[in-house]
Amino acid sequence: MIRNRFSICFALAVLALACGQPPTLDIQPQSAAAPPAPASAPATASPALLSSRAPSAGELPAGHPPTDGMPADHPPIAATVPDTIELAPVANDTGQGAAALAWTAPAAWISEPPANTMRRAQYRVPGPGGEGECVVFYFGPGQGGDPQSNAERWASQFTGADDQPVRATTANRKVRGIGVLLVEAAGTYQAGSMVGMGEGVAKSDWALLGAVAQGPDASWFFKLTAPRATIEANRAAFEGMIGSLARGG
C-alpha cells in the first residue's frame, strides 16, 4: 500500500513537471512557543516618595543611613541648642565672712532679691530720666576677668553717634586698702547684650557708672546703668557707696 501511494505521488510530480508547474507541498507552519515572560521586578518607591510625613524633632529623615557604627567622636545627629545659658553656681564658702566686701547703699535706692547666684545685690535706682539698675556681681576666685577687661566690655555695650563702641573712662583709687577701678561710659546702651546671646535692646542716651573692687578672695563688680539724667542725679550716691567699701561682710 505504501508503495502504491509512493507511486501515485511520483506520477503526479512527473505530470506536474511535464505541465510546467512546480509541485505544491501542504506544509503547516509551526508556531514557536513564546518565551516565558520575565519575572517582574518588585516595585520600589522613589526616595522622594518614601514618606510624605515630615520627620519629627530628633527623628532621622526617611532614607537617612543608619547611625550605628558612628565613630566615638562623631557629633550627635540631632543636636539641640539650649534656649538659655545656665549660669554656674558660686561656691557658698566664697565671698563670705572675712572674704566678703561690705558697703552702705544709698537710702533712695530700692533693694531687690538678686536675680541669680552671680548677683550679691541689686537695686532699682529712681531718677529724673527714669529708673535704672545697680547690680553687684561676684563670680568667685579666679573668675570674672581682670578689671580693665571688664571696663572695656562694659563700654562695648555702648555705641556713639557713629554707631561705633565708645571708649571707657577709667580711674584707679584706694578705699581702705581696697583697690578699685572706676569706670564710666555713655551713649546708646545695648541692654542685655552679651557674647553669644545676640544684640540687646537699644536704649539711647544712657550711661554707666561702674567699679571693680579687689575683694579678699575675688573681684566684686558694681555696675549702675540708667538714663543719662538719672546717672547724673545719682553720681554722688554711687560714689558714696563705693567710698563706703570695707572688708568683711
DSSP 209-233: EEEEEE-SSSEEEEEEEEEHHHHHH
- Identity of the amino acid at 177: G
- Identity of the amino acid at 150: N
Domains recognised in the chain with CATH numbers: 110-247 (3.40.1000.10)
What is the number of residues in the chain?
249
Q: Which cell is 10 given? A: 511520483
Going from the C-alpha of 186 to that of each of 56, 155, 169, 182, 189, the distances in angstroms are 48, 8, 10, 14, 8
Q: List alpha helices for 145-244, DSSP H.
A: 147-155, 228-233, 235-243
Q: Which cell is 212 given? A: 571693680
**pLDDT value of residue 186:** 97
Q: Which cell is 166 given? A: 565708645
- One digit per residue, pLDDT tens: the chain, 249 residues? 444 444 444 444 433 434 444 444 343 333 334 444 444 444 433 333 233 344 444 444 445 444 444 445 444 433 333 333 344 556 666 777 888 999 999 999 999 999 988 899 999 999 999 999 999 999 999 888 899 999 999 999 999 988 888 999 999 999 999 999 999 999 999 876 544 444 568 999 999 999 999 999 999 999 999 999 999 999 999 999 999 999 986
3-class DSSP assignment, residue 14: helix
b/e 72-89 (16+ beta carbons within 10 angstroms → b): eeeeeeeeeeeeeeeeee
Q: What is the pTM of this model?
A: 0.62
